[in-house]
Chain A
């Protein structure tokens, strides 16, 4: 057996994954270099097992939770902005679509006439109603007083 072959097995033997027997054991017994390598591998194995275990800082949990909350808040904000932008785009698209539809069907011209008609009709009604406004207000006040007295009387009867 050559040293290369034995040296390849040294780590596995030191870790306990392989048992040195037969040709390997014979070689390790007769070759001081390979025996030294095995001893080194065993020492390294012990040192690795004894390595200090670093502990997290005392405030680690609270700092982590704060960071998670912040990240979540940012992601929520991002979602909110995205949602609002999407809604605004949909509204713009709907308005633009309706306007294009009206335009294409020639209804925009009709709607302009309708707006003018409603405007003038509203002005005429207002002109007629304004002089009688104090009379309507008096009638409304009388009705409200009568309803009030009725409600008060009903409430007392229920008690």
Chain B
């Protein structure tokens, strides 16, 4: 049923129906924005890139053959946009800078969680772009390995291995916090 609606939506977009395209943007904006914002870690840049993604979708819809799911095709576009983005080099982020200040009413455990979250974001920013994208996508709305592999046009085993390596790197960077 969902697939039928999706196909109808794509057909309407292809026919130049602007309302249909608006519906498509509304449907996928959360996913696209979250994925990009998690990968580039800069909201204004993320908005620009997310708009780029929808622009590419708009241009590419006439050539979308429907062999893959629409969401898979969108993941692929997001991956291309993120990997082509020449933003801030990930290595420029230090784990020691700008630590989150402790709020007076926050307990030690909450503070520990906040600090871990903050350091985790900074550690992710230091990962290579493809690892960041994998981490962002895999932990977003439970995207399965299979869908990621199809979107990134990589073998399933490679996706799993790269994810493990990304997490291994993160674990090493956060060694002190994870004890």
Residues of A participating in the B interface, judged by any CB pair closer than 8 Å:
10-12, 14-15, 17, 36-37, 39-41, 43-45, 47-57, 60-61, 63-65, 67-68, 71-72
Most chain-A CB neighbours within 10 Å: which of B26, B29, B55, B178? B178
B121 partner residues in chain A, CB cutoff 8 A: 51
The answer to whether A44 and B167 have CB atoms under 8 Å apart is: yes
Min C-beta distance of B105 to chain A, whole Å: 20
Contacts of A15 in B (CB 8 A): 163-164, 167
State how many angstroms separate the Cβ of A108 from the closest Cβ of chain B: 50
CB within 8 Å for A60 and B179 given contacts A37-B171, A41-B171, A65-B22: no
Q: Are A60 and B58 in touch, CB under 8 angstroms?
A: no
Contact of A36 among B33, B46, B54, B179 (CB under 8 A): B179
Residues B43 and A54 in contact, CB atoms below 8 Å apart:
yes
Q: Are B167 and A68 in contact (CB under 8 A)?
A: no
CA distance in complex: A43, B116 (Å): 10
Write the nearest CB–CB distance from B11 to chain A, whole angstroms: 18
CB-CB under 8 A from B120, the residues of chain A are 44, 47-48, 51
A51–B136 alpha-carbon span in the complex (Å) = 9
Query: Can you list 25 A-B pairs, Cβ within 8 angstroms, ordered by A?
Result: A10-B168, A11-B163, A11-B164, A11-B168, A15-B163, A39-B178, A40-B178, A51-B117, A51-B121, A52-B117, A53-B34, A56-B30, A56-B34, A56-B50, A60-B29, A61-B25, A61-B26, A64-B25, A64-B50, A64-B54, A64-B55, A67-B55, A68-B21, A68-B54, A71-B55
* Complex Cα spacing A96 to B95, Å: 71
> Which of A36, A47, A60 meets B116, CB within 8 Å?
A47
Chain B contacts of A44 at CB under 8 A?
Answer: 120, 167, 170-171, 174, 178
In the complex the two chains form, is B33's CB within 8 Å of A56's CB? yes
In the complex the two chains form, what is the Cα distance from A38 to B29 in whole Å? Answer: 36
Q: Which residues of B contact A64 (CB under 8 A)?
A: 25, 29, 50-51, 54-55
Instruction: Specify which of B21, B50, B168, B170 is in contact with A60 (CB 8 Å cutoff).
Output: B50
Complex interface: chain A residues within 8 A of B6 (CB) = none
Looking at chain A's contact residues, the main secondary structure is helix
Chain A neighbourhood of B143, CB < 8 A: none
In the complex the two chains form, what is the Cα distance from A63 to B135 in whole Å? Answer: 28
A65 near B25: Cβ-Cβ < 8 Å: yes
Roughly how many angstroms separate A15 CA and B178 CA in the complex, as a whole number?
Answer: 16
- 1/0 per position for B33-73, CB-CB distance to A under 8 A? 11001100001001100110011001000000000000000
Nearest B-chain residue to A42, judged by Cβ = B178
Which of B34, B37, B160 interacts with A17 by CB under 8 Å?
A: B160
When C-beta atoms are compared, the residue in chain B nearest to A69 turns out to be B18
Contact partners of A60 in chain B: CB under 8 A:
25, 29, 33, 47, 50
**Please, which residues of chain A bring their CB within 8 A of the CB of B38?**
51, 54
User: A residues within 8 A CB of B167?
Assistant: 11, 14-15, 41, 44-45, 48
CB distance from B166 to the nearest CB of A (A): 9
Q: Given the known inter-chain contacts A61-B29, A65-B22, please indicate yes or no for A56 contacting B47, CB distance below 8 A.
A: yes
Known contacts A54-B46, A55-B30, A61-B25; decide if A43 and B178 are in contact (CB<8 Å): yes
